[in-house]
Amino acid sequence: MALYKEEARQEIKEEVVVVLNILPKEDHEKPHIRGSLNVPLGNDHQAFVREVEDRFGRDKFFISYYADRRSKMASESAGILRVNGFESEEAAVLD
């Protein structure tokens, strides 16, 4: 289930949420969601999981975001995190 703008904003305000911008680093430097933190998904999914855990721990709720709404990468990254024991959803629209 995707989170939408109003719901995501409330989650962010509660400060237990991390918005993960899963774009490649060079694309994250372009306009992006204010407050989102860049953790590129890449091809090595276990490296992605390790980086998320190392940087943020497991006690937060993660919202995965990808700039191209047609892409399934946000959904894929949220699923990867869930399979690995994290609470995570993809953001459908956060602008």
CA-based nearest residue to 52, from 22, 7, 76, 13: 22
User: CB-side exposure of 37: number of CA atoms within 13 Å?
Assistant: 11
Give 94's pLDDT tier (boundaries 50, 70, 90).
very low
Is the pLDDT confidence value at 89 over 50?
yes
Q: Please state, in angstroms and rounded to a whole number, the distance separating the CA atoms of residues 57 and 28.
A: 22
Higher pLDDT, 85 or 65: 85
Q: What is the pLDDT of residue 21?
A: 79
What pLDDT, on the 0 to 100 scale, is given for residue 52?
96
pLDDT of residue 14: 66
pLDDT for residue 28: 59
Half-sphere exposure of 76 (CA within 13 A, CB side): 16
10-69 pLDDT tens trace: 666 666 788 887 777 766 566 666 677 889 898 999 999 999 999 999 999 998 887 666
What average pLDDT does the segment 63-83 reach?
85
**Which residues are within 8 A (CB) of 67 and not within 5 positions of it... i.e. 6 or more apart?**
21, 23, 27, 32
